[in-house]
Structure 1
Amino acid sequence: MSPAARVAQWIDAVIFDLARQMRWTFLPPLMVYFAAGFSGLTMIVGTFFVKEYLDLSAAFLAGLAFWAGLPWALKMPLGHLVDIMWRWKWLLVYLGAGLIGLSVFIMYLLLTQTDMMTAIMPMGAWYVTSYLLAPTGLVIQDAVADAMSVEAVPRFDETGAPLAPETSRALHTTMQTLGRFALITGTVAVALLNITMFSGIEALDAEGKRAVYASIYLAALAIPLVSVSGVVLAGVQKWRARRGLLGRGLTEAEADALFERSDEKTTPNPWYFIGGAGFVALSLTVGLSDIPFGQEIIFAGSMAIVLLLMRQLVAVLPVAQARTLIGTALIIFIFRAVPRVGDGYTWFAIDSLGFDQQFLSVLSLIASMLTLVGMVILRPLIANHTIVYIIVILTVAGGVLSLPNIGLYYGIQDITAPLTGGIVDARFIAIMDTALESPLGQIAMIPMLAWIARNAPPDLKATFFAVMASFTNLALSASSLFTKYLNQIFVVAREVRDPVSGAVTTPADYSQLGLLILIVSGLTVALPLLAVALVQRTRLRSVD
């Protein structure tokens, strides 16, 4: 085979085959996933809002991220609820959309009606309220989207005949790949909007910047609209498919059986809701009190509850599947629980490297675009290797790609820029690092999600999805805790000025940021590799 033919064959297998497997029924869950990615529209403006209007420390923000991550631990009772109310799951999307819309609208009013809002609560309290409402709405919608992604894969062809198992397996893999694709496409749209809306902001005064920030939050109200539109489209598609089956001679009972199979009737398991109630009670009791180590207590309690609920699901699986599930979950948990540097590096990039709003938006756009490309190109790698292999590759790559950030802190750009005529400066290095690192984060999720879709019991699809999500998302809470601890040990402070007098109330101090980056980079590589080595030596060995 000639080189040209090999290239053509590779393009067909990697790109065109993905398009051939697309189904119109995939579109509704993809719209909900797109809305989840689009929800990042307020991320950059939120960073600058905190920096310019609120005197909040990096440790406090890391702690706030901990609280914002906890709603994701409720995905198991939410997933079980979706399984129970399968025919009415669209109501939950409306609820989630309402919470997201309220979160965005609070920030819009905070910028446009500041006096009215601060007369009710301090600005910081409003920000925290908005910050916590958004993930609550997103987790509700995500639980439904996971269920919709299973429902979107056809079980029968145009004539009503069941699909072959290998065809169904391929479609599930494609659905999960496209789900991640839609999620990242949402972030691409976010980056493009941010670049456009932040254009020329450096020349604006304080009131001009406030108006730009408000317009971004106003645009973010499209987030709940997109997800609700996806649910409406799913209903229309289902109605048209049912009408088509009736037109081919099937009776109403036969057509309904193809959509609502008897083996998908879920028997409610009260333990999922008891665990959810315990989680809420624990969070409220500890969160509203001044108990020392409150976040740690909530994390430990949440972990105990999630493990209890996981046991309920594992009990209905074959032994081999149960062990694979546990081993895979442990490895992914450690992979996601490694600490991050925190907001201190972003502050350093803004203050010391001169990265402004628009350049941060450009970096976000580059990351999103190359993630899309990377997911398509690396799809054969995902399909042909185990989750453990992919985790090891991503861990090593992540460690290598942390080196440019270390170099930027210690001034490598001061060496490379003169040697290259100013080309390889701080921004060039940041762009190259982003280009190489961006595809890695989403890759590990695709094989796990495809495995779940293939192996979940018919009556527990959403619950099974939620099992892995709840456990591995608690890893993000653990990551936030570790990040907070490291930021308390290695204190990083940005310059804060009084908005009235302009006097410096907190001086900038990035002296300990370098050591913080080095420690985080080391732990990011060491912990996942150690977890893989230990788990693969036990009966929980992950082989899928």
Structure 2
Amino acid sequence: MSQLSDGPQARRSLRETIVEAATTRLPSLMRPILGLRRTYLPLLMVYFAYGALGIIDVSRDMWIKEHLTLAPAELAAIGVWLSLPWTVKMVFGQLVDSVPIFGSQRRSYILIGAAFTACGLFTLAGTAGGWIAFARADRLYILGTMLIVVGTVIQDVVADAMSTEVVSRVDMAGNARGEDEIRTELGMVQVLGRLALGIGILAVAGLSGWLAQFFARETVFLLGLVIPAISALGVLLIRSESTERRPLDWRILGGGIGFGLIVLAVALGGLPFGQELVFVLSMLVICTMLFFVTRELDAKTRRAILFTSIIIFAFRATPSVGDGYFWWTLDVLKFDEAFYGSLRQTSAIIAIVAMWTFSKQLTEYSVTKVLFWIAVAGAILSLPNIGLFFGLHHWTEQTFGFGARAIAVIDAAAASPFAQLSMIPLLTLIAFYAPAGHRATWFALMASLMNMALVAGQLQTKYLNEVFVVQRGEYSELGPLLVIAALLGFILPIGAILLFGRRA
């Protein structure tokens, strides 16, 4: 009898063990799949389309080198201006929060953003094909790229707002959910958003190199028109829109519009140190607006946001090398379009795998811990690029049988996840504290602050390229430029973490 009674118990115990393993001990690899909801699809399609815009990247970069007259320092300076639409996201955020168009606070703005992006791609195609020629090609490149940026910013504002709205603050019974539960789900939405972005990049990475090698630049830009159509299709999946709506906050809207007009006047007026002036004004405007929006939060929360924001700002304000290194790999290492497509595809695959694998750590670990290890890893992984310039590939080819291309692939594979990984803790923090009725404005303001960090990085890139001058075919000063950019990329974030990490 005992054996007969033990059998069902043993079988029941086995079933219970399987159920427990499936429900409470699922590996982190399953978390993104289990976290996916149908309501997330419209915003994920926006992020996917943003990543898939990379279909034009290789063709655009080659076109700049082959047909435009811009030097790396000039391209870095243009990058500062192209970053500025991201710093006035609060204007779009305020409109999305408060001004419905044809009764819509979400669908209409996604379509408007898609239209801007399509116009930008059309402008680039016409410039490359010679059938749009009312200005110099350099100027038309800036116009087309700016239109794409504005379209992307508008759609990004909507997707950011939706990323906080799709997470319910109450359970099925109408009871308030716990803060940890809400924070974890918000973090998962951000992970899924970064995954959608990464999948978009992956979907076109190899294709971008192939298209650049076999098709005219004009044709590739026209093919890119399919990308804004993808985000526009996501509109059909939005079942209902947020009913949270507040009157326009004219302090934010008026301040943002006024700031935009000042930026435009400075840009067109050609004032000396105009970019630096705009940067300082931007920081003053954004910080003032953040003060107004965060007045409803308690002092402890505001301090935590302040110190965490300083750390993330320092992390994102690191300079890059600029376009000179890309040109050097084309002229000296003889990398071609197809190889760059493969390189971007490798980077995209590794980024997706990393975000998928580390979804638990990214959603549950502290911001300072995540960014500390990303900064350390980023510093280590900058060494292969420096080594390539100083001839590392010659030694590895003689000793191990692999050369520059293998080193570039290994470096891209190892370094690729970190830009995406570093964004997830920030986005989770912003989403968690987003106030009802001001979600788009809040997200836009915080994102504007973080994009000002990118502007700071672009300014540093410009300064470095003015000190260490790199031109087409003249790369003697590229080595010191690589070393100093790598050092700043380590010192700035680690210094901020050491100073403010315990208070974040």
TM-score, normalised on structure 2?
Answer: 0.91
Aligned to 2:479: 514
Aligned to 1:130: 144
Q: Secondary structure at the match of 2:147?
A: helix
Q: Aligned pair 1:373/2:377, yes or no?
A: no
Moved more, 75-84 or 354-363: 75-84
Aligned pair partner of 2:228 in 224, 229, 249: 224
Aligned pair partner of 2:373 in 393, 399, 411: 393
Aligned pair partner of 1:36 in 40, 43, 50: 50
CA distance in 2, matches of 1:148, 1:8: 30
Q: Secondary structure at the match of 1:80?
A: helix
Residues 126 and 11 from structure 1, CA distance in 2 versus in 1: closer, same or farther, beyond 3 angstroms? farther
Residues 381 and 221 from structure 1, CA distance in 2 versus in 1: closer, same or farther, beyond 3 angstroms? same
Deviation at 1:392, TM superposition (A): 0.9
Letter in 2 for 1:135: V
CA distance in 1, matches of 2:463, 2:92: 31
Letter in 2 for 1:525: F
Aligned to 1:233: 237
Cα displacement string for residues 9-45 of structure 1 (whole angstroms, at most 9, x for unaligned residues): 9993212232122111110100011111112222211
Q: Aligned pair 1:333/2:313, yes or no?
A: yes
Q: Secondary structure at the match of 1:28?
A: helix
Deviation at 1:380, TM superposition (A): 2.2
CA distance in 1, matches of 2:395, 2:407: 12
Where do residues 228-377 of structure 1 align in structure 2 (5 Å cutoff)? Answer: 228-234=232-238, 237-238=239-240, 260=243, 264-377=244-357
Letter in 2 for 1:401: L
Q: Secondary structure at the match of 2:341?
A: helix
Q: Secondary structure at the match of 2:443?
A: helix
CA distance in 2, matches of 1:52, 1:162: 61
Aligned to 1:242: none
User: Contact conserved, 1:492 with 1:510, CA < 8 A, in 2?
Assistant: yes
Aligned to 1:117: 132
CA distance in 2, matches of 1:156, 1:279: 38
Letter in 2 for 1:106: T
Cα displacement string for residues 451-507 of structure 1 (whole angstroms, at most 9, x for unaligned residues): 22222211221122112210010111111111001100000011xxxxxxxxxxxxx
Letter in 2 for 1:300: V
Cα displacement string for residues 412-459 of structure 1 (whole angstroms, at most 9, x for unaligned residues): 1111101123xx200000111111111111112112222222222112
Aligned to 2:165: 151
Deviation at 1:293, TM superposition (A): 1.0
The two structures, once aligned, show a CA RMSD in angstroms of 2.2
CA distance in 2, matches of 1:303, 1:509: 36
CA distance in 2, matches of 1:302, 1:526: 25
Deviation at 1:290, TM superposition (A): 2.5
CA distance in 2, matches of 1:452, 1:266: 20
Q: Secondary structure at the match of 2:240?
A: helix
Deviation at 1:214, TM superposition (A): 2.2
Aligned to 2:107: 90
Aligned to 2:394: 414
User: Contact conserved, 2:308 with 2:367, CA < 8 A, in 1?
Assistant: yes
Moved more, 302-311 or 159-168: 159-168
CA distance in 1, matches of 2:209, 2:75: 25
Moved more, 325-334 or 272-281: 272-281
Aligned to 2:500: 535
Aligned to 1:489: 467
Letter in 2 for 1:397: A
Q: Aligned pair 1:213/2:217, yes or no?
A: yes
Letter in 1 for 2:398: P
Letter in 1 for 2:313: F
Q: Aligned pair 1:63/2:77, yes or no?
A: yes
CA distance in 1, matches of 2:382, 2:341: 20
Aligned to 1:170: 184
CA distance in 1, matches of 2:175, 2:182: 9
Deviation at 1:167, TM superposition (A): 4.8
Aligned to 1:27: 41
Q: Secondary structure at the match of 1:315?
A: helix
Deviation at 1:85, TM superposition (A): 3.3
Deviation at 1:517, TM superposition (A): 0.4
Aligned pair partner of 1:190 in 201, 204, 209: 204
User: Contact conserved, 1:392 with 1:529, CA < 8 A, in 2?
Assistant: yes
User: Contact conserved, 1:313 with 1:464, CA < 8 A, in 2?
Assistant: yes
User: Contact conserved, 1:33 with 1:179, CA < 8 A, in 2?
Assistant: yes
Deviation beyond 4 Å, 4+ runs, structure 1: 7-11, 154-157, 159-163
User: Contact conserved, 2:210 with 2:337, CA < 8 A, in 1?
Assistant: no
**Number of residue pairs aligned between Structure 1 and Structure 2:** 482
Aligned to 1:139: 153
Q: Aligned pair 1:439/2:417, yes or no?
A: yes
CA distance in 1, matches of 2:455, 2:359: 29
User: Contact conserved, 1:29 with 1:152, CA < 8 A, in 2?
Assistant: no
Identity of aligned residues (%): 36
Cα displacement string for residues 339-359 of structure 1 (whole angstroms, at most 9, x for unaligned residues): 110000000111111111111
User: Contact conserved, 1:275 with 1:306, CA < 8 A, in 2?
Assistant: no
Q: Secondary structure at the match of 1:292?
A: coil
Aligned to 2:439: 461
Q: Aligned pair 1:382/2:362, yes or no?
A: yes
CA distance in 2, matches of 1:325, 1:217: 41
Residues 197 and 309 from structure 1, CA distance in 2 versus in 1: closer, same or farther, beyond 3 angstroms? same
Q: Aligned pair 1:104/2:121, yes or no?
A: yes
Q: Secondary structure at the match of 1:458?
A: coil
Q: Which runs of 5+ in 1 are unaligned?
A: 202-208, 240-258, 495-507
TM-score, normalised on structure 1?
Answer: 0.84
Residues 229 and 155 from structure 1, CA distance in 2 versus in 1: closer, same or farther, beyond 3 angstroms? farther
Q: Which runs of 5+ in 2 are unaligned?
A: 1-17
CA distance in 2, matches of 1:11, 1:150: 27
User: Contact conserved, 2:76 with 2:462, CA < 8 A, in 1?
Assistant: yes
User: Contact conserved, 1:399 with 1:525, CA < 8 A, in 2?
Assistant: yes
CA distance in 2, matches of 1:467, 1:81: 13
User: Contact conserved, 2:363 with 2:428, CA < 8 A, in 1?
Assistant: no
Cα displacement string for residues 319-371 of structure 1 (whole angstroms, at most 9, x for unaligned residues): 11111111111111111111110000000111111111111111100111100
Aligned to 1:503: none
Moved more, 160-169 or 211-220: 160-169
Letter in 2 for 1:92: Y
CA distance in 1, matches of 2:229, 2:432: 31
CA distance in 2, matches of 1:324, 1:360: 41
Moved more, 332-341 or 459-468: 459-468
User: Contact conserved, 1:282 with 1:301, CA < 8 A, in 2?
Assistant: no
